[in-house]
């Protein structure tokens, strides 16, 4: 059985991260690239938001006895396979995991254009994820 209290606590963390990073949603590319403090705040906060989503997904997957994901990104594929996420939201979250890996593991230099795009166009995906998880908690199948 899914521990709703745990999931709701993680969703609350996600809400906090979204509120914090949304303060930067109107920033332009030039302003973003010229301020290392803003870059650090935004990138770290997006990382935390992705990790909160992965934690929620991992908990649900474990409690439902679904197949074990092979990567962070795969956790969202497992949720899609089990009807919790639609394919579009799944792919967006998979891409967020790839972005998180670049930040955490420094696979490559972070592309400021991608960050600004996330701020302007993709934060809504975290909100959509939140709503899907709340719907699942109300009506687990």
pLDDT in tens, 110-121: 999 999 999 999
How much is the pLDDT for 105? 84
CATH number for the domain harbouring residue 127:
1.20.120.580
Q: What is the number of domains present in the chain?
A: 1
**At 108, is the pLDDT very low, low, confident or very high (cuts 50, 70, 90)?**
low
pLDDT tens for each residue of 21-74: 999 999 999 999 999 999 999 999 999 999 999 999 999 999 998 999 999 999
**What is the span of the domain harbouring residue 74?**
4-138
How much is the pLDDT for 93? 98
How much is the pLDDT for 1? 83
How much is the pLDDT for 12? 98
pLDDT of 141 above 70 = no
DSSP the chain: ---HHHHHHHHHHHHHHHHHHHTTTT--HHHHHT-HHHHHHHHHHHHHHHHHHHHHHHHHHHHHT-PPPSSHHHHHHHHHHTTSS-HHHHHHHHHHHHHHHHHHH--S---HHHHHHIIIIIHHHHHHHHHHHHHHHHS--
**pTM of the full structure:** 0.94
How much is the pLDDT for 107? 62
């Amino acid at each position: 059985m899914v521990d709703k209290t745990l999931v709701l606590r993680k969703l609350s963390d996600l809400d906090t991260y979204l509120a914090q990073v949304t303060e930067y949603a109107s920033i332009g590319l030039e302003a973003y690239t010229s301020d290392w403090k803003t870059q650090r705040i935004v990138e770290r906060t997006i990382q935390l938001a992705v990790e909160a989503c992965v934690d929620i997904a991992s908990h649900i997957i474990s409690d439902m006895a679904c197949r074990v994901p092979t990567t962070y990104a795969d956790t969202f594929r497992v949720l899609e396979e089990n009807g919790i996420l639609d394919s579009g939201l799944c792919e967006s979250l998979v891409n967020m995991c790839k972005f998180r890996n670049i930040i955490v593991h420094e696979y490559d230099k972070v592309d400021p254009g991608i960050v600004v795009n996330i701020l302007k166009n993709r934060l809504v995906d975290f909100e959509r994820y939140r709503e899907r998880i709340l719907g699942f908690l109300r009506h687990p199948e």
